[in-house]
Structure 1
C-alpha cells in the first residue's frame, strides 16, 4: 500500500514538474510565452532609432536590432510570437516597463545609474552627447549666447538635467519642457525657444527631416558621453542574456555595423535624408568589447 502511494506521489510530482513554467526565472519570457506575443515600446519621432515611416508604422535602427532578438526569443521558446507595438514617450516609457505593459523599449533611451535602479538595459547600442540645436539666422556662436534666454528640452529626458545644471552654473536659463521631441523641435522652429538641447544624433535626425536643414545649426559645445541601450524589466537575468547574447553576436559578425551604416550613413525613409553620422570611436570600442557599463 505504501509503495502504491509512493508511486502515486511520484507521478503527481512528475506531472507537476512537466507543468512547471519553462522560464520561471524570467517574468518577461513567461509573459511572452503565455501571451504568445511580445509588446514592443517604440518612439514616434526618435529618428533614426524608432519613428513612424510613411505608412505610419514604426521603423528604425533599434527596431531592426530587435527583429534579430525576436528570432532568438522564438528559438528559445520554441514557438512563433506575435509582435505588438505600443507608442511610448520620455515620461511613460519606464513606468510601462515596470508595470509589464511593455516587454522591451526600442527607442533612443540613455542608460544611466539612476535609471538602472528602476529598469535594466542591454549592452550599449549607441553612444551620444547632448548638444544645443539653434536657428542659424539667430547667429548664436556658443552656449554663452544662451544666457538668460528660453530654451527647451523634452520632459523626462536626460537633457532636462543637463540644462538645469548649466543654468545653475550661471547661464540662468528659462527651461521649457515639451512633451516629446516633436513638440520641442516645434518650439525651436517657431521661435518660442532659442535652443533645443538633446542628444546629438536625435537632433541630427530632426534636422535632416526639416524642410530646410541648413536653417538649423549646432552650437560647438558637447557634454557628457551617453550610452544608449534597449530597456526592459529590472533583474530579469534570463531575458537580458537573450538580448545581450544576440547583440554580441551581431557585433562580432559585423552585422551590427552593417545595420548601423544603413540607418546612420545612408538615405533613410520616408524622405531619403542622410544623417551622415559615421560610427564614432566610443561606439566602435563598445562593439569590440560589448558592455552595459556607464561612466
Structure 2
C-alpha cells in the first residue's frame, strides 16, 4: 500500500511538472509569434506603461486608469495601426520589470520612458525616438546643489531608480558620489524628502512631473545627457516595429502628437514645450 501511495504521489508530481513546462512553453512560443497578426485578430495592443510617473503614466485612483503622455501616445498609435475601434490595453511596468514582461510575451510593446541604448538594443528592438529627454536633478528648493558638478564630492548621496539608465549615467558624471537605488520613483521621492540623498536624478520630463506634485522641490542644472525614448518590441517582431514607426510619422504629421504633448507638458513650469514639439 505504501509503495502504491508513493507511486501515485510521484505520478502527481510528474503531472504538475508537465503542466508547468507546458505553460512555460506556451508563454515562450507566444513571445515568438507574429505579434502584429495576433493584435489585428484581437483588435488590441497590450502596452507596458509606467503607473508611478506623473505626466507620462500615473494611476488615477479615482477610476483606476493609467493616464499620461505615454498612455495617450499608445492609444493614438493603437488606433492608427489597428483602426479607430481598436483597444489599447495597459499593463503596469517598472524600469526593472518592463523587459522581462516583454520577453515573456505578457505585453506586446513597451512605451514607458525607455531610453534607447546600445545595451538595451541587445535585448529588444526599438522604434524611432518618440520623445527626446535629458537627465537632470531634482532638489529641495534652496539646496546648494545647482548642477551635476556639485554632486562630485566624496560621500555625497544621490538617489536613483533601479533599472533606469540614469543610475549608470550619474556614476559617470559624478564618480565620487554615492548612488542609492530605489525600486520606483515614489520611493525615491520619499527618500529625498527624508534626507537620504541631496538630489534625485532621472530624465527631466519625469522630474518636472515630480516637482509639480511637490512644490517644495525644483529641477536644476539643465540636462547633462541626451535620452531619446523609444518604443521597445521583442526581437524578430519587425512587422510590428514597422507599423509603429509608420504610425508615429502619421501622428506627428497630422498634429496629434503635438496636441498630446501640449496637453501634458504645455503648462509645466520650466519645461520647454516648443523645443520638444515635432
Q: CA deviation at 1:50?
A: 1.4
1:265, 1:276 within 8 Å by CA — same for their partners in 2?
no
Aligned counterparts of 1:98 and 1:127: Cα–Cα separation in 2: 25
Q: Would you say how many aligned residue pairs link Structure 1 and Structure 2?
A: 244
Aligned counterparts of 1:167 and 1:276: Cα–Cα separation in 2: 24
Distance 1:142 1:27, change over 3 A: same
For residues 1-295 of structure 1, what are the structure 2 equivalents within 5 Å? Answer: 27-33=34-40, 37-53=44-60, 54-75=62-83, 81-146=86-151, 147=153, 148-168=155-175, 172-210=176-214, 213=215, 215-220=216-221, 222-266=223-267, 274-275=268-269, 277-279=271-273, 281=275, 283-284=276-277, 287=278
Aligned counterparts of 2:163 and 2:243: Cα–Cα separation in 1: 28
SS at match of 1:133: strand
1:154, 1:160 within 8 Å by CA — same for their partners in 2?
yes
Aligned counterparts of 1:220 and 1:154: Cα–Cα separation in 2: 19
Aligned counterparts of 2:150 and 2:159: Cα–Cα separation in 1: 15
Distance 1:36 1:247, change over 3 A: closer
2:75, 2:87 within 8 Å by CA — same for their partners in 1?
no
1:41, 1:104 within 8 Å by CA — same for their partners in 2?
yes
Aligned counterparts of 1:87 and 1:264: Cα–Cα separation in 2: 22
Distance 1:26 1:252, change over 3 A: farther
Unaligned 5+ segments in structure 2 are 1-31
Q: CA deviation at 1:231?
A: 1.9
Deviation by residue 1:71-112 (Cα, 9 ceiling, x = unmatched) = 23324xxx9655432110001101111121111122211111
SS at match of 1:113: coil
1:40, 1:104 within 8 Å by CA — same for their partners in 2?
yes
1:143, 1:221 within 8 Å by CA — same for their partners in 2?
no
Q: What TM-score, normalized to structure 1?
A: 0.75
SS at match of 2:221: strand
Aligned to 2:15: none
1:205, 1:275 within 8 Å by CA — same for their partners in 2?
no
Distance 1:70 1:176, change over 3 A: same
Q: CA deviation at 1:40?
A: 1.6
2:140, 2:218 within 8 Å by CA — same for their partners in 1?
yes
1:49, 1:108 within 8 Å by CA — same for their partners in 2?
yes
